[in-house]
A and B are shown apart, each in its own frame.
Chain A
Amino acid sequence: MKLKSLAVAAVTGLMFAASSIAAETGPIKIGFMAPYVGVYTKLGTDMDKGFHLYLDEVGYKAAGRQIVVSKEDTEAKPELGPTKARKLIENDNVQIIAGIVHSGVAMSIRDMVNDKKIPLVVTNAGAPEITGAKKSPYIFRVSFANGQQDLAGGWYAYNKLGFKKMIVIAPDYAAGHDKANGFMKYFKEAGGQIVEEIYPPLNTNDFGPYLTKIMDKQKEIDGVWAFFAGSGSIRLITQYDEYGLKASIPLYTIGDTLDDAFLPSMKDSAVGIKNYLHYADTVKSPENEKFVKAYTEKYKEGPGVFSEQGYVGAKAIVAAIEAVKGNVEDKEAFIAALRKVKFAAPRGPFSFDENQNVIENVYIRRVDKGDGKYFNTILDTIPDVDQNWSPAKMKK
């Protein structure tokens, strides 16, 4: 009898040991959430491409373990967030989740990833709360917080570009207001004046009435700050030119409004406009040149800012996996390793701040035309911009 129970115990013990060893050599599963349909499709597919480009570079392996990615289409609909996340976590047993374009989706799964202790690496969603009021030790963001780049961009407008009196125009939703507020903060603190703030509804097609208002006040201002994304940006830039404003009142925008992907649609209307963003495909660094070349070769089109964000997300995850020697099952060690990740990304130096949001360069750019192509030339750099940047943080 005793021998039998001893044997059972031994076998059980061996099985246990075997399964835990197996767990540590089995594949690491990452869930990737992004919109693959709808208005944000390009952002989602670009992020996806960048993410997979990096994993491809390391052969889908880290610390000797294979990496498997399951993707779920969020359609950029917040109400689908919980269902899709649940599928990845409960059904597909992923250990890490990455991606997410839409802030609403990120917010809708915040509690789930926090309670279930699943590390989430956000590669776009910009709501400041994600690494602010609603932050979690398990949530990291490699892209930006809405308003982050604008803090520096606003300071630069007054102190370096000579804008003193501006009108601000952005769509009427959380991101629009957060970015506008970020811009206005140090612009006003430096002495700048905001003559008017205009917030058209998010899907405005026709900027006529707003541009006419701006025309009406042209004698009171020396510039207009604008944020619009996607099709809104195309319409704003072209209509701004059509109404003759481009010639008389300079535009200065956050780079979303002059995204490389849409410059071909804007054509000459975009040329000459200064803007700022944490990335441009013209950044001169070995990492970026390698990235742009590899991306273009693999996908037959150039990378955009969302591609780079996806790429960096994958790179950060792999770096952390290597740091814990593949033991992602030890969640506390894994997130501690993620916090310490630091490397040269295509956009420049990459690291996380104490809220687990990215610290990055902000580039001042200008749209130029050459060889029949449109691109953003980099004019200047403001380094180490984080979510709570202030001019005082600048090293003189």
Chain B
Amino acid sequence: MNFWAMQTMNSLSLGILLFLIASGFSLIFGLMRIANLAHGSFYLLGAYVGLAVLNKTESWPLAVLAASVGVPVAGILLQRLFLNRLHNQELPQVLLTFGFMFIFADLALYLWGGTPQTLPKPEMFSSSVRFMGLVFPAYRLFVIGVGLFIAVGLWLFLEKTKVGAMVRAGVDDSEMARAVGINVPLIFTGVFALGVALAALAGVLGGPIIGVFPGLDLEILLLALVVVVIGGIGSIKGAFVGSLLVGILDNFGKALFPEIAFFTIFAPMALVLALRPKGLFGK
């Protein structure tokens, strides 16, 4: 019993982290049809910025703030100065983000070196929670909590607010939205910044669990891609379901069938591709 309960908790914490990573990617792709291959890079930068702030100040709120506000600045520059020049050219835009992946990776290597590092956890969540014979790291519960909070917040934002409605309008038909007076370029920049902020925040939150090191950007990108392929492109609900599904499959797969641990993430993806190419909730 304990085994199953613990594994489910593990799945949840992994799944929520995946959601934070994938939702940012899905938003940008859904709205602007840009597959931002530098998404993993923003995760990486968020983690490094968070680490730098934590090393200097040991303040978690400050680290989160620095990452979620600082890294999107780079994102906005990327979007306004570079991606905008390739307006509506889907493929060149993707290729552009691809080049930036190299630039960001080398920048990170230059600034922070090649040694793998781990972010320290916040003091109040650095112990374990014991509950009915189960032992579970408090920090992971924190991640689950934050993730759910953000998921709900995102949903409320998109479904219930005026700005959210404008975003959805932009997704459905940006020409019409413009015609109706919605400042589409501003919305685009805003959403891009939001997507990047989510990735950077995920970097800080995931830092104590996953760590940060060169090459992580590609690993994270791959995870985001798998979730988005399974859940469906452009759908936040799809990203949520896809993330949890991948979290569960990955965890239980590793625990029950360790020989094929590597494939527990990719096999479902191949399956979805074969049976339902648009993903579970794809548009």
Contact = CB atoms under 8 A, between A and B. Distances in A.
Asked if the two chains touch in their complex, CB atoms less than 8 Å apart, one says: yes
A40 B213 CA distance: 10
B115 A41 contact: yes
Nearest to B126: A242
A210 interface: yes
A42 B214 CA distance: 12
Interface string B113-138: 11111100000000010100001110
Interface string A331-349: 0000000000000000000
Contacts of B154: none
Given A212-B7, A239-B137, A242-B137, A231 B114 contact: no
Contact of B254 (A42, A210, A238, A243): A210
B96 interface: no
A35 B208 CA distance: 26
Contact of B114 (A41, A203, A209): A41
Contacts of A199: 258
B136 to A, nearest CB: 8
Nearest to A197: B258
A231 B130 contact: no
A212 B3 CA distance: 7
A381 interface: no
Contacts of A243: 128, 135-137
Interface residues of B, number: 37
B101 to A, nearest CB: 15
A177 B14 CA distance: 27
Which A-B residue pairs are the 6 nearest by beta carbons? A41-B114, A231-B116, A244-B135, A208-B10, A242-B137, A209-B255
Contacts of B151: none
Interface string B243-259: 00000001110110010
Contacts of B215: 38-39
9 contacts: A38-B214, A206-B14, A208-B6, A212-B255, A215-B135, A231-B211, A235-B210, A243-B136, A244-B128
A145 B252 CA distance: 34
A110 to B, nearest CB: 26
A261 B114 CA distance: 13
Nearest to B9: A208
Interface in B89-117: 109, 113-117
Contact of B118 (A36, A40, A235): A235
B219 interface: yes
A208 B115 contact: no
Majority SS at the chain A contact face:
helix
B261 A230 contact: no
Max chain A Cβ within 10 angstroms of own Cβ: one of B117, B135, B139, B140 = B135
A243 B130 CA distance: 10
B49 to A, nearest CB: 18
A355 interface: no
Given A41-B214, A212-B10, A201 B262 contact: yes
A18 interface: no
A198 interface: yes
B69 interface: no
Interface string A220-241: 0000000000110011001100
Contacts of A261: 115
Secondary structure of the B contact surface, majority rule: helix
A48 B7 CA distance: 43
A205 interface: yes
B174 interface: no
Contact of A205 (B109, B114, B210): B210
Interface string A56-86: 0000000000000000000000000000000
Contacts of B6: 208, 212, 215
A39 B213 contact: yes
B26 interface: no
A210 B257 CA distance: 11
A208 B14 contact: yes
Contacts of B14: 206, 208
A200 interface: yes
A164 B6 CA distance: 27
Contacts of B214: 37-39, 41
A247 to B, nearest CB: 9
A200 B128 contact: no
Given A200-B258, A201-B262, A243-B135, A230 B210 contact: no
Contact of A210 (B2, B13, B209, B255): B255
A242 B139 contact: yes
Given A42-B115, A234-B116, 6 more contacts: A200-B261, A205-B209, A209-B254, A231-B118, A234-B118, A244-B130
Given A203-B219, A209-B10, A242-B137, A38 B114 contact: yes
A234 B51 CA distance: 15
Contacts of A95: none
A216 B117 CA distance: 30
B114 A238 contact: no
Given A206-B14, A209-B7, A39 B114 contact: yes
Contacts of A325: none
Interface string A34-57: 001111111001000000000000
Nearest to A216: B3
A231 B216 CA distance: 11
- Determine which residue in A41, A205, A215, A243 has the highest number of CB atoms from chain B within 10 A of its CB, and name it: A205
A201 B109 CA distance: 24
Contacts of A108: none
Nearest to A244: B135
Contacts of A206: 10, 14, 209-210
